[in-house]
Amino acid sequence: QHTALAVRADIPFEQNPDVTALDTYATAPATHHHLRSGLDITLHQNGQTLRILVVHLKAGCPDNLPHATRPTCATLWQQFAVLDAWVAIRTQHHEAFAIMGDFNRHLTVHDPLFLTLLRIAPLDLVTAGTASPCQNGSYFIDHIILGGAARAWKIPNSLRVTPLAEEVGQTLSDHCPVSITLQLPSAKEQPQP
C-alpha cells in the first residue's frame, strides 16, 4: 500500500523528501486512515536527470466532477493542488519529470483535474485515449504523465500493460503494471537553450 520505485542497480539516483502534502489528512486524528505521501526520486542517466513522483491518490472519485459533493472528490481535488505545485516547481527549474502511479481516476486529456496540471505546463498523459486490457478493458486509473524534456524521450507506441496471471482464489494485485519506454539522449545530443 506504500509508494515505491524499483531502480536498476547501475542507475544512480537520489531520494528527495517525500511529498507529504499529498496526505491531506495529516492533521486528522490517529483513528483516521491517512493517505500516502508521494515518493520523489531523481534518476541520472546519459548525463540527463529525470525527476519522478510516484503517487497513490485517494479512491472514490473516478469520474465525478471535482466540485462534486462527495468528500472523496474534495480530497482528490486537494491532492491535485499539491501536484499542481510540484509540476510548477519542476517547470520553473526546467526539469524533465514524470508523475506515475495509482491516481484512482479515469484521467483523460479533458478531465478537469488533469486540466489543472496542463494549465501549468505542457504534459503527455501517456494513457490517454486507451483502455486497459485488464479488468475487461476498463479505463486506466494507473497513469504516467511526462513533462519537460521527458515528453520528447518517450518512444512512440511503447505503452505496455502486463496482465497478471491469477491463481484461483489468489490475486497478486487489482492492477496490472503499466509501462512506457524512454530514450534519454546523451548530454552531447541535448540541444542547448
Tens digit of pLDDT for each residue in 6-35? 898 999 999 999 999 998 876 655 545 678
Q: Which residue has 482464489 as its cell numbers?
A: 169
User: Which pLDDT band holds residue 69 (cuts at 50, 70, 90)?
Assistant: confident
User: Residue 98 CA to chain centroid, in angstroms?
Assistant: 7
**Percent of the chain topping pLDDT 70:** 82
Q: Which residues contact 157 (CB under 8 A, 6 or more apart)?
A: none
Q: Bigger pLDDT: 180 or 133?
A: 180
What are 157's three cell numbers? 507506441
pLDDT at 182: 94
**Percent of the chain topping pLDDT 90:** 55
User: Which pLDDT band holds residue 193 (cuts at 50, 70, 90)?
Assistant: very low
Record the pTM.
0.88
If 0-12 CB within 10 Å is exposed, 13-18 middle and 19+ buried, where does residue 184 land?
buried
Q: What is the mean pLDDT of the chain?
A: 85
pLDDT at 190: 55
d(CA 166, CA 164): 6
Top-level CATH class of 13-179?
alpha beta
Q: What is the secondary structure of 24-83 as a DSSP string?
A: TTTTS-TTS-PPPPBEEEEEEETTEEEEEEEEEPPSS-SSS-TTSS-HHHHHHHHHHHHH
Mean pLDDT, rounded, for 104-112: 91
Q: Bigger pLDDT: 130 or 19?
A: 19
The tens digit of pLDDT for each residue in 136-181 reads: 667 888 999 999 999 999 999 999 887 766 555 544 455 778 889 9
Mean pLDDT, rounded, for 70-96: 94
